[in-house]
Amino acid sequence: MISRHVNGIITSLAASALMGLFLTNVQVKADTQQVQQPVAQTTQQNADSTKQSSPTVYTESSKEVPVVSYTDHQSKPNNDHWSNPAKYKDAIPVQILGINDVHGNIDTTGKTWIGYRSYQNAGNAARLAGYLNNAESDFKKKNPNGTTIRVEAGDIVGASPATSSLLQDEPTMHALKQMHIEIGTLGNHEFDEGLDEFDRVLEGKAPKKGQFNQEEQDYPHENSGIQIVVSNLVRKADGKVPFGWKPYIIKELEYNGKKSKIGFIGIDTTDLPKLTFAKNLKDYEVLDEAESIAKYDKILQDQGVHAIVVLAHTGVETYKGKTQGDAVKILQKLYRIDPDNSVDLYIAAHSHQYADGGVGNTKLVQAASFSKAYDDAIGYIDPSTNDFVKGSLITHVYPVMSATDDKEIQPDPAVEQVIKDAEQRTSKITNSVIGKAAAAKDITKDLNSDTENAIGDLVVDAQMAEAKREGIVADIAITNGGGVRSDLKVEKDGSIKWQSAQSVQPFSNQIQVFELTG
């Protein structure tokens, strides 16, 4: 978004600017003209029960393995297309439920695009937990005593709304513990306050006295129980993965007296130097993603583990029948390095988009962001080969619908209690009124006819106002659209609360001012 004043001095990117605008009690007004975002039109195919719906196949070049795209039509796993359990009586059923890019959004909702349609007011961690429970129940009905493993692919914390961030994202870790998330990897936002602080929150250690606000000091600190796997981040000092985390882990599986194993490899994006403060990364080296996967794929296969899942904080998107992004490029490089790799499932993150596709023999998914969706992958492992039976692994991505759109799925009460407790502890700050809108109407991210949105324009106007407050007469203000995280919620009386403004830009960014010629 660009504030329309042109000449020479430009301001860029400020979280505090929006808050500052409201603290001056300025009245704000939204541009109300909107257009609907485009969506690919698709139709339901009569797919065989062992296939995902109507794959689209393309290749970037004749030298690359093919890329396949799917379109999810169902909003819940019940009665969706899965492999038929009766065909795999001698195999071990396993379900991988994945989430990504929660960013502390435990009590927020918003629009998301999954498959061929959009969902309004999707999200909320308690409802996400309810959907995970429903997906596991659906799997267990068809596969009694099958194994469900719940995982996350990074950016679970950081850039978080106030309910979580005011308590150092510990409520989010409590929520994930109640969701039974077992394995995770790092994203870029786990570095926001340094990995020492993330590890403290992960393990539930108490902060130093006086380090944070009293609400955080008083909050119960609990170990999340999540095992972190990251194979391409090592300490410069000794070349080892930090904090005792592992590059991979192996889970034992058992079903009707049969045993097998499944391996999980973790990957963070090599764009980390561009995405976090240098001081937080100075002690670490980030290694090539594809080369790291290839290295540990071989190590796992040498141990007889051929069913392999990669948890990767690298982006991907499926849109208009095409799956593309960094995750696709990484997998294509992996196949060039090792055409015989045994990576069966790649759970992506970072770009906050929907994806359901595949590269070569590897299924590839991403579940949007902010507790608004989840991945569901079900397959059957042959105990004689310790690999998925060919064609048995099916993936889907589903939305976390609002109570209005889906009255059947109930929020998980344990996660709901975590949220209520966190809201109560932070309410004195979050419910304080900091400004008034000209109209009692949310200021949204919906695109208008100029392909801009009202909240983005408000953010850059706030940057201009903040620069002026500092005595700088700026002409243009620019912000990254991806950094405008949410609509600005306006109360029925037109008032704007602290938590609403903080949700729009929940960062510790600074305004930068440049003088340009030409």
Helix pair 170-178, 195-203: axis angle to 10 deg: 40
Tell me what the pLDDT averaged over the chain comes to. 89
Within-domain flag for 40 = no
Determine the Cα–Cα distance for residues 163 and 503; give it in Å rounded to an integer. 10
Structural domain contains residue 183:
yes
Query: What CATH number did the domain enclosing 238 receive?
Result: 3.60.21.10
pLDDT of amino acid 13: 47
In this prediction, residue 237 has a pLDDT band, given cuts at 50, 70 and 90, of: very high
397 and 463 together in one domain:
no
Residue % of the chain over a pLDDT of 70 = 88
**434/132: higher pLDDT:** 132
**257 and 335 fall within a common domain:** yes
Query: Would residue 47 count as lying in a domain?
Result: no
Residue 121 main-chain phi, psi, to 5 deg: 55, 35
Burial label, 516 (beta-carbon count in 10 A; 0-12, 13-18, 19+): exposed
Same domain, 274 and 393: yes
Q: Does residue 432 lie in a domain region?
A: no
Residues 366, 488: one domain?
A: no
**How confident is the model at residue 91, as a pLDDT?**
97
Q: What's the rounded mean pLDDT across residues 252-265?
A: 96
Region 126-138 average pLDDT:
98
Residue at a domain's end among 383, 417, 451: 417
Domain shared by 16 and 165, yes or no = no
Compute the C-alpha angle 323/182/162, nearest 5°: 80
SS3 376: strand
Does 184 reside within a domain? yes
Whether residues 101 and 23 fall in one domain: no
**Residue 5 in this model has a pLDDT that exceeds 60:** no
pLDDT exceeds cutoff 70 at 122: yes
Query: Does 423 reside within a domain?
Result: no
399 is a domain residue: yes
Which domain does 453 fall in, by range? 2-30+437-515
Q: What is the mean pLDDT of residues 262-291?
A: 97
Residue 53: per-residue pLDDT: 54
Which pLDDT belongs to residue 85? 96
Largest CA distance in the chain: 75
Asked whether residue 246 falls in the same domain as residue 350, the answer is yes
Domain boundary among 417, 447, 465: 417
> Do 289 and 267 touch, CB atoms closer than 8 A?
yes
Boundary-marking domain end, from 417, 450, 475: 417
Tell me whether residue 427 is in a domain.
no
148 shares its domain with 222: yes
Dihedral pair phi/psi, residue 467, rounded to 5° = -60, -45
Using one digit for the tens of pLDDT, what is the confidence trace for 53-106?
557 665 555 579 999 999 999 999 987 889 999 999 999 999 999 999 999 999
Q: Are residues 295 and 391 in the same domain?
A: yes
Mean pLDDT of 431-458: 87
**pLDDT above 60 for 26:** no
Q: What is the pLDDT of residue 421?
A: 98
Residue 53 contacts residue 44 (beta carbons within 8 Å) = yes
Q: What is the pLDDT of residues 319-363, one digit of tens each?
A: 999 999 999 999 999 999 999 999 999 999 999 999 999 999 999
**Residue 39 pLDDT level (bands cut at 50, 70, 90):** very low
The CB-based long-range contact list for 241-249 (8 Å cut-off, 24+ gap) reads 242/195, 242/284, 243/195, 243/199, 247/292, 247/296, 248/296, 248/299, 248/300, 249/183
**Predicted local distance difference test score (pLDDT) of residue 170:** 98
Q: Does 366 have pLDDT greater than 70?
A: yes
Residue 38 in this model has a pLDDT that exceeds 90: no
Number of domains making up the chain:
2
- Where b means 16+ CB within 10 Å and e means fewer, 221-230 reads beebebbbbb
* 252 and 176 in a common domain: yes
How crowded is residue 78: how many other Cβ atoms within 10 Å of its Cβ?
12
In this predicted structure, what is the pLDDT of residue 49?
Answer: 38
